[in-house]
């Protein structure tokens, strides 16, 4: 697809498990309805309160691998034995229509997205400390001690890749972190390159004077 003046923005948000990414994203989407959540595919089972088609497209391993062989995924990864993937065709279509989209994916997926959409904006959510992350994971009461330890080990690996992102937000105080996230998304919309494209007719008007 050829870029157009109304092309949407792709926001990519990543974080280690338990950093509060999902809660922040939900609050951002409520504060800024112009941003839509891109619904990814996953082979893991739904968690309490999750709905198919809203939180994820929950599919079997067979269905996932069929989509994979059809080259449908923009990015895909295996996390804790489950597969996750983002539809390439849906992302392209939505952005071309001028809609802003947000992806919740890990750092590996974010790297793959940058290759296909170099103008995407990436944000990493950082927990305030390792101890706070352990407390949050235990407080969810969703995982065994063994799984929590695996998630903590993975978190250290995730944080090591934070420097590849455009922005880093520390989620110490939720309200403050949300304000930071809203500020980042607003500032990205105002970047010079995007404004020159979005308001090309306005700039051309002044050139003709």
Q: What span, in angstroms and rounded, lies between the C-alpha atoms of 89 and 94? A: 9
| Higher pLDDT pick, 8 / 133 | 8
DSSP 165: S
- Residue given tokens 């990493």 in the structure block: 124
> Residue 40: pLDDT band by 50, 70, 90 thresholds?
confident
Q: What span, in angstroms and rounded, lies between the C-alpha atoms of 159 and 123? A: 12
> Residue 5: pLDDT band by 50, 70, 90 thresholds?
low
Walk across the sheet containing 167-170 and list its strands. Answer: 35-37, 100-104, 10-14, 121-126, 167-170
Q: What is the average per-residue pLDDT within 75-80?
A: 83
Per-residue model confidence (pLDDT) at position 2 = 41
Domain ranges of the chain: 10-207
Per 3-state DSSP, the chain is made up of helix, strand and coil in percentages (nearest 5) of 45, 20, 35
Strands 121-126 and 100-104: unpaired
Partners of 52 in beta bridges: 56
Of 32, 13, 42, 6, the closest CA to residue 166 belongs to 13
pTM for the complete prediction? 0.81
> Residue 70: pLDDT band by 50, 70, 90 thresholds?
very high
Please name the CATH architecture into which domain 10-207 falls. 3-Layer(aba) Sandwich (3.40)
Instruction: Tell me the range of 22-31, 82-91, 125-134 where mean pLDDT is highest.
Output: 22-31
Helix spans in 32-144 (H) = 61-69, 88-96, 107-116, 130-139
**56 contacts 46 by C-beta, under 8 angstroms:** yes
Per-residue model confidence (pLDDT) at position 141 = 66
Q: What is the average per-residue pLDDT within 141-167?
A: 84
Per-residue model confidence (pLDDT) at position 62 = 95
Per-residue model confidence (pLDDT) at position 41 = 92
* pLDDT for residue 3 is more than 50: no
């Amino acid at each position: 697809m050829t870029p157009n003046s109304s092309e949407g923005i792709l926001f990519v948000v990543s974080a280690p498990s338990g950093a509060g990414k999902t809660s922040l994203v939900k609050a951002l989407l409520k504060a800024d309805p112009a941003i839509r959540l891109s619904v990814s595919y996953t082979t893991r089972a739904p968690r309490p309160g999750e709905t198919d088609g809203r939180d994820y497209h929950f599919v079997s391993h067979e269905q996932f691998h069929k989509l994979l062989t059809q080259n449908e995924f923009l990015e895909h990864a295996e996390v804790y034995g489950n597969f996750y993937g983002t539809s390439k065709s849906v992302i392209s279509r939505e952005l071309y229509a001028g809609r802003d989209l947000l992806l919740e994916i890990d750092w590996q997926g974010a790297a793959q997205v940058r290759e296909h959409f170099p103008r995407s904006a990436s944000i990493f959510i950082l927990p305030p400390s390792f101890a706070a992350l352990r407390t949050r994971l235990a407080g969810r009461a969703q995982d065994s001690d063994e799984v929590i330890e695996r998630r903590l080990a993975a978190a250290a690996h995730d944080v090591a890749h934070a420097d590849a992102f455009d922005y880093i937000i520390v989620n110490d105080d939720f309200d403050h972190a949300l304000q930071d996230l809203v500020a980042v998304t607003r500032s990205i919309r105002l970047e010079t390159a995007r404004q020159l494209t979005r308001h090309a007719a306005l700039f051309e008007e002044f050139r003709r004077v």
